[in-house]
């Protein structure tokens, strides 16, 4: 009769801290994990089979890749058989082992019983079948059920990778003082070296990097990079002339647009408006209608943030009409900026409860997306048919049509959303819809999935903090405890 796993195998603690081991756990590649155990701990297939309650041919098949581990029950059995420490279990996406209630007992049990089926929520698969499933009971689940769902990966990686991450990481707010100083300066700083001709190629690459980092929700990184970048762009606009100067103004318009977007997310409307105004000034100086249309998006957003919804909707619609008039060639770049302006106007109309205008602009934006034919990221708009549908979800939630929003959300393929910021925003919108329907567990899970995907999009936004507090205030005790812990982890003020 075989002994316990601990008697059959001896895995050093250092093994679970290896980078390749952590990668295998994070990706749930059990075949790779077994191979590493054989390589570094000298554990044979037979001993692995006995420890994990499998046959040796099964172990061999998993290591060769001809068989896969897919169910939660088997993951649990393997983790228990290997006496996997809690940090490793969490990386694999499993519940930690609870300390034994009787100190005289040496066996440990996981926090929850092993369910008969794999209860992972696969948000990466089209459609978002589990989180957005219409078949689940509308009633709240008990705490154990919530824990089972929480302790497994929502997006193919461990939720606890985010939960246990260092919560003292520096946020973008720390870089705002230097950004404020640059925004307040309408000419290059006195110590700016403008003796050499600015390199527009280098500046263009830096602006593109800032845009990419913003769309990846790396807001701290962008906030640190923007002050010197904006200073150099101010210098370029001051010393260049002709086409080079117009190109410098185009780059400045894009950089100020990023600054305004981050400031809006951080809840600083005054500085955001200043950055949006600077973006529009630079855009007009560029004499490029596409750049003007692109910068109009941040102006419209700043208006909405200040509660000027009617003016924002009118501005977006009017500038879209002007863009249509001034650009005779409706190429993909035009369609992307034009469609994005229409979407911005639709959101503004929805926020003032003007359903007719919202749906009218939204329909025209969807038609523009169909004309474009695919989801692109021209002029950093991430515009296309999928983006238009994401905005339809947002507008439905804004108008209080939660059921419609969730029905629409079920039809969206997350794999088609290539921009992290848009994907996280979509999950936040679904969380808002679930809250309107009083489906508190799903609100919590959607927010956790978004946080894992884009920490700074969740941790740094006052609007998301309000959503978390609303969840805490309205959820039943079983969900409330989890939501409160989540809020504390993020530093959400109460």
Q: Which two tokens stand for residue 201?
A: 């190629």
Residue with tokens 């969840």: 471
Cβ–Cβ under 8 Å, residues 429 and 393? yes
- Asked if pLDDT for residue 419 goes beyond 60, the answer is yes
Please tell me the least confidently modeled range out of 71-85, 401-415, 459-473.
71-85
Q: What is the structure's pLDDT at 149?
A: 45
Residues 6+ apart with CB under 8 A from 297: 257, 316, 340, 341, 344, 381
Q: What gap in Å lies between CA 315 and CA 348, rounded to an integer? A: 10
Residues 242, 248, 253, 259, Cα dihedral to 10°: -160
The total number of residues shown for the chain amounts to: 494
For 360-389, how does the pLDDT look when each residue is reduced to its tens digit (9 = 90+)? 999 999 999 999 999 999 999 999 999 999
- Of 181 and 30, more confident: 30
Residue with tokens 């404020």: 180
In what helix (H) or strand (E) does residue 447 lie, and over which residues does it extend? helix 440-453
Residues 6+ apart with CB under 8 A from 251: 200, 203, 204, 207, 233, 236
Q: What is the structure's pLDDT at 300?
A: 96
Q: What gap in Å lies between CA 379 and CA 219, rounded to an integer? A: 19
The span from the first CA to the last CA of the chain, in angstroms, equals: 56
Q: What is the structure's pLDDT at 334?
A: 97
Residues 6+ apart with CB under 8 A from 50: 2, 5, 8
Q: What is the reported pTM?
A: 0.70
How would residue 2 be classed by pLDDT, with cut points 50, 70 and 90? Answer: very low
Q: What gap in Å lies between CA 404 and CA 340, rounded to an integer? A: 22
Q: What gap in Å lies between CA 104 and CA 88, rounded to an integer? A: 25
Residue 465 CA to its chain's centroid (Å): 15
Q: What is the structure's pLDDT at 256?
A: 97
Q: Which two tokens stand for residue 149?
A: 């769902």
How would residue 352 be classed by pLDDT, with cut points 50, 70 and 90? Answer: very high
Q: What is the structure's pLDDT at 266?
A: 86
Can you name the residues that pair with 98 across neighbouring β-strands? 109
How would residue 494 be classed by pLDDT, with cut points 50, 70 and 90? Answer: confident
Average pLDDT value for residue range 1-21? 72
- CATH number, span 1-94: 1.10.260.40
Q: What is the structure's pLDDT at 193?
A: 55
Q: What is the structure's pLDDT at 174?
A: 54
Please tell me the least confidently modeled range out of 186-200, 213-227, 427-441, 470-484.
186-200
Average model confidence (pLDDT) across the chain? 83
For 168-183, how does the pLDDT look when each residue is reduced to its tens digit (9 = 90+)? 334 455 567 788 888 8
How would residue 187 be classed by pLDDT, with cut points 50, 70 and 90? Answer: low
Secondary structure class of 119 (helix, strand, coil): coil
Residue with tokens 């103004």: 249
Can you name the residues that pair with 109 across neighbouring β-strands? 98
Residue with tokens 């926090």: 111
- Asked if pLDDT for residue 144 goes beyond 70, the answer is no
Q: What gap in Å lies between CA 352 and CA 491, rounded to an integer? A: 31
Q: What gap in Å lies between CA 126 and CA 320, rounded to an integer? A: 33
Sign of CA dihedral 407, 408, 413, 418: negative
Average pLDDT value for residue range 337-349? 98
How would residue 33 be classed by pLDDT, with cut points 50, 70 and 90? Answer: very high
**Domains of the chain: which residue ranges?**
1-94, 173-287
- Asked if pLDDT for residue 265 goes beyond 80, the answer is yes
Percent of the chain scored above 70 by pLDDT?
80
Q: What gap in Å lies between CA 39 and CA 37, rounded to an integer? A: 5
Q: What is the structure's pLDDT at 180?
A: 85
Please tell me the least confidently modeled range out of 76-90, 202-216, 291-305, 464-478.
76-90
């Amino acid at each position: 009769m075989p002994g316990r796993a601990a008697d059959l195998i001896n895995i050093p603690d250092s093994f679970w801290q290896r980078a390749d081991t952590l990668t295998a756990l994070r990706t749930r590649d059990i075949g790779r994990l077994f191979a590493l155990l054989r390589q570094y701990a000298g554990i044979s297939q037979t001993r692995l089979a006995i420890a994990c309650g499998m046959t040796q041919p099964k172990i061999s098949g998993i290591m060769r890749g001809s068989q896969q581990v897919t169910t939660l029950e088997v993951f649990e059995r393997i983790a228990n058989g290997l006496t996997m420490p809690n940090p490793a279990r969490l990386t694999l996406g499993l519940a930690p082992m609870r300390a034994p209630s009787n100190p005289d007992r040496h066996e440990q049990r996981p926090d929850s019983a092993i369910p008969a089926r794999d209860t992972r929520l696969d948000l990466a698969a089209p459609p978002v079948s589990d989180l957005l499933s219409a078949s689940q009971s509308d009633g709240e689940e008990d705490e154990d059920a919530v824990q089972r769902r929480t302790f497994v990966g929502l997006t193919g990686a461990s939720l606890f990778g985010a939960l246990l991450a260092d919560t003292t990481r520096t946020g973008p707010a720390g870089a705002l003082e230097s950004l404020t100083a640059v925004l307040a300066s309408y000419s290059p700083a006195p110590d700016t070296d403008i003796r050499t001709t600015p390199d527009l190629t280098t500046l263009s690459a830096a602006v593109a990097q800032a845009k990419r980092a913003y769309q990846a929700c790396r807001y701290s990184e962008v906030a640190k990079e923007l002050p010197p970048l904006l200073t150099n762009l101010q210098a370029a606009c001051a010393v260049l002339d002709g086409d080079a100067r117009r190109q410098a103004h185009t780059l400045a318009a894009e950089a100020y647009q990023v600054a305004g977007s981050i400031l809006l997310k951080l809840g600083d409307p005054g500085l955001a408006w200043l950055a949006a105004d600077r973006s529009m000034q630079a855009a007009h100086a560029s004499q490029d209608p596409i750049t003007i249309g692109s910068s109009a998006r941040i102006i419209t957003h700043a208006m909405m943030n200040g509660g000027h919804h009617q003016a924002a909707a009118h501005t977006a619609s009017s500038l879209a009409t002007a863009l249509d008039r001034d650009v005779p060639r409706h190429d993909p770049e035009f369609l992307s900026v034009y469609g994005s302006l229409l979407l911005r106007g639709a959101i503004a109309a929805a926020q003032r409860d003007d359903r007719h205008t919202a749906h009218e602009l939204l329909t025209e934006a969807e038609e523009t997306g169909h004309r474009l034919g695919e989801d692109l990221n021209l002029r950093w708009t991430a515009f296309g048919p999928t983006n238009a549908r994401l905005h339809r979800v947002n507008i439905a939630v804004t108008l209080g049509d939660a059921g419609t929003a969730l029905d629409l959300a079920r039809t969206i393929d997350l794999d088609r959303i290539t921009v992290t910021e848009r994907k996280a925003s979509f999950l936040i919108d679904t969380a808002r819809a679930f809250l309107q329907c009083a489906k508190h567990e799903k609100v919590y899970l959607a927010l956790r999935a978004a946080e894992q995907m884009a920490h700074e999009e969740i941790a740094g936004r006052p609007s998301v903090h309000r959503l978390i507090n609303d969840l805490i205030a309205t959820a039943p005790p079983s969900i409330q405890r989890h939501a409160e812990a989540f809020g504390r982890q993020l530093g959400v003020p109460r």
